[in-house]
Structure 1
Amino acid sequence: MSLDQPQDFVKHQTPTRDAFLGGRLIVSQPRHGFRAGLDSVLLGAAVAPGSPWLLDLGCGVGTAGLVAMSHWPDMVATLADRDKDILALTRDNAAANGFSARTTVLAVDVTAKGAERHAAGLAENAYASVIANPPFFDAGAGTLAGEGGRAGARHMDPATLDLWIKTAAGCATPGGEVIFVYPVESLSPLLAGFTQRFGAVTVLPLTPRPGQAVTRVLVRAIKGSRAPLTMLASRALHGDEGRGFLPEFDAIFRGEARLVW
């Protein structure tokens, strides 16, 4: 549901105001380029119950972190992104949804060296849950996001993706969880980075409809665990026909349930 209202924006765009979680969460985001959607909602809803400290790496306008905070009223979140212009909207979104007191917004490059990340305020071994929806190139769409910096970032090679995983590992607390959502085409380097650094790696494949090929995966791991990898059965978002979501995901997208996996 779109709630467009004209606002000034440093990139001379008019942001859209979009409703998530059945209208409980209203997010302003650029009209063009990367836009938060279902992946962000699933990522935020996938966080463990009662997790006290959350870090959203590459947060964009903050949607996934705000979804998580909507589910857990005691959660404190750090939303980190390298795009300072986007972070202006991130701060506005936290304030507009009543989360300012529980939110820290950091301008930091996820792939920067540790000393640079620390100087920007990103702490080591500090977050019980670390989530990320790393940017990627959508070959099916044929184009990149409109913003130059974001477009460059969407060419995510395996080495750069591994830097995201490395940063997540450094920021998570011992015993903390790390959760990524990503296209299935990049599952191989994603799993390589996760299994190198974590245990209890769990993969949830997502498919548009029953019997169709998997398009997205959620991958969760526990820092310091030695438990083996688990590949869950795939879950379909829609039924065989129609545009409606199956009950499990309909409840998640309405904000009535979290993702249990």
Structure 2
Amino acid sequence: MRASPMNFAPMSDQTARAPYPTTEDGFLGGRLRLRQPVSGHRAGHDAVLLAAATVARPGDRVVEFGAGVGTAGLAVAARIADLDLALVELDPGLADLARGNAAANGIRATAIALDVAAGAEAFAAAGLAPDSVDVVLMNPPFNDPSRHRGSPDEARQIAHVATQSTLQSWVHAARRVLKSGGELNLIWRADGLAEVLAALGRGFGGVALIPVHGNPNEPAIRVLVRAVKGSRAPLRIHAALILNEASGAPTAVARAVLAGEQTLPLVLT
């Protein structure tokens, strides 16, 4: 789901440099300004919904996997002060943009160019040792390659299309870096919920989820999920989030969430 970002005047030269053309767009009602590539993967509603459903507290060590230009992690930091935020991104160019976006928004964050599927030694070398993180949030590539026609844009293809091991490897990396009782937050396509629950079956419990519907008359298109490392609490399913009325107009709740004025129930449990 792509956002409808607002355009702003250019950032400073220090934050504007990038290896490819970029735009500067506004999220959370314009309170968060982000520079992102003109083509390829661009941040949208999924990242903002993920941020709105992410639980964190001041002082927490928070890590976003597959951060892109930092949208979800920076949106969480815009809501919750004094986070120790790390933005992990495979593409060094996007990691540079994430670093610049954090600085431009006055948010303290570390951007790390790292493959989420890398081993424990690579994570530790990047400052992400086992059992050291309070919260992980992630929006992994989730389109099924057998049903999704890949984009000719390589960066967009990597960002959108999952391999058979994508979800398992990302959840494994989260389980490794999270402290006992740490929380994993993710967004995935709704028809792949069984894959999510299977991936969380080892080491996670206390699963809570919100189905996300494009409109009230259609099946869910996304699912927001929170899980707790080491928990044995039962599954909890919250009321669905409806993005648009049957008429096509955004719902009041969706408008408030995307503007950063309202969080989602997973934050409150």
TM over 0.5: yes
Query: 2:210 maps to which residue?
Result: 204
1:35 corresponds in structure 2 to 42
CA contact (8 A) 2:141 2:166 kept: no
Name stretches of at least 5 consecutive residues in structure 2 with no aligned partner: none
Q: 1:195 to 1:232 in 2, by over 3 A?
A: farther
- Please say if 1:25 is aligned against 2:32: yes
Contact 2:190/2:221, CA 8 A, preserved across alignment: yes
Question: Shift in Å at residue 152 of structure 1?
Answer: 3.9
Q: Which of 102, 122, 133 lines up with 1:127 in the alignment?
A: 133
Residues 1:247 and 2:252 aligned together: yes
**Pick aligned residue for 1:3 from 4, 7, 15:** 7
CA RMSD, Structure 1 to Structure 2 (Å): 2.1
2:57 counterpart (43, 50, 54): 50
Q: 1:165-189: CA deviations, max 9, x gaps? A: 0001111121111011011232221
Tell me the distance in 2 between the aligned counterparts of 1:162 and 1:153.
16
Q: Percent identity?
A: 36
Q: Deviations over 1:70-127 (max 9, x none)?
A: 110122211111111111100110011001xx21111111001212222232222122
What stretches of structure 1 of length at least 5 have no aligned partner? none
Is residue 72 of structure 2 the alignment partner of residue 71 of structure 1? no
The answer to whether structure 1 residue 178 and structure 2 residue 178 are counterparts is: no
Q: Distance in 1 between matches of 2:152 and 2:57?
A: 35
Q: Deviations over 1:2-55 (max 9, x none)?
A: 427595531xx3211110011100111111111111110111111225252211
Give secondary structure in 2 for the equivalent of 1:40: helix
Aligned length: 255
Structure 1: distance between partners of 2:62 and 2:148: 31
Residues 201, 230 of structure 1: 8 Å contact kept: yes
2:114 to 105, 108, 124: 108
> Which TM-score applies when normalising by structure 2?
0.87
